[in-house]
Amino acid sequence: MQVMVLWSVFVGSLGIEAVVAGGWLRWRQLLLRQQDQEEEELVTDHQNHRNLTKVEHPPTSLPLNGGKSAEQFPVPPKPEEVTAVIAALRPPLPEASVGSSRDSQSAEWEYKIVRASFDLFRDPQIFQGLCEEELQAGWTLLEKLDDRRVRFKRATAWRTMINEEGINFDPYRSHYGPATGWLNVVGAIAAVTSMVLPAYLGYVLVANTLSAKPLSPAVPTLNPSVAPVFEPSTPEPPLIP
């Protein structure tokens, strides 16, 4: 009875592991979908507000129209005047962008997100190396989302100014570093081992159980063409006349 219970546990654990693995894959899929949705919302927000520059502590002595500073005004300056001053501080676009990129404000900037398979950008040297490589293709750092995602932007005029043969990577790459981390490799090995080991142990248990079972004695077969001969075990009594 105990052998049958152990056998049932080994065989039934495969179904439990399949359910657990399916739940984990579903959780990963939902997590990736949520991250993609958050990134899409952030990119859309930057595209809608790309003409405004966020200043955490705006200066109060910037020269406004007429050469006056904000401190010389009896009343606070108008929002459009402050916006004009901030826009004047923005670095100019390359000369090649004077054409269609300035005419179409929607095509002035382009954005991308570079991802890593694990917390690769936690290392400052690796993060600096990424920024330097992306700068070769005209991409400037916009925001570091976390240790796995970094956002860049560049003017669309860089598409025609960059010589792609002079750089050793794709300007529109979205992944940096190894494709799989050591944690994913170890997890895959552990998952395969946890699925194969119970099946192997169950097979060994059944094989040992069958080999230890005593064999039943062989039953002799009768030949139908030959009549059976019965030998009496005790002699018959003599016939009395």
pLDDT band at 134 (very low <50, low <70, confident <90, very high): very high
Residue 47 to residues 58, 92, 144, 145, Cα–Cα distance (Å): 22, 18, 17, 17
> For the segment 141-182, what is each residue's pLDDT rounded down to a tens digit?
998 988 889 999 999 888 888 887 888 888 889 889 887 666
The pLDDT, as a whole number, for residue 99 is 45
> For the segment 195-204, what is each residue's pLDDT rounded down to a tens digit?
777 777 777 7
Q: Is the pTM of this model over 0.85?
A: no
CB-count exposure of residue 121 (10 Å: 0-12, 13-18, 19+)? buried
Q: What's the start-to-end Cα distance of the chain, in Å?
A: 66
DSSP-assigned beta bridge partners for residue 140: 153
Domain boundaries, the chain: 1-50+181-209, 67-178
Beta strands in the chain (DSSP E): 109-115, 140-144, 149-155
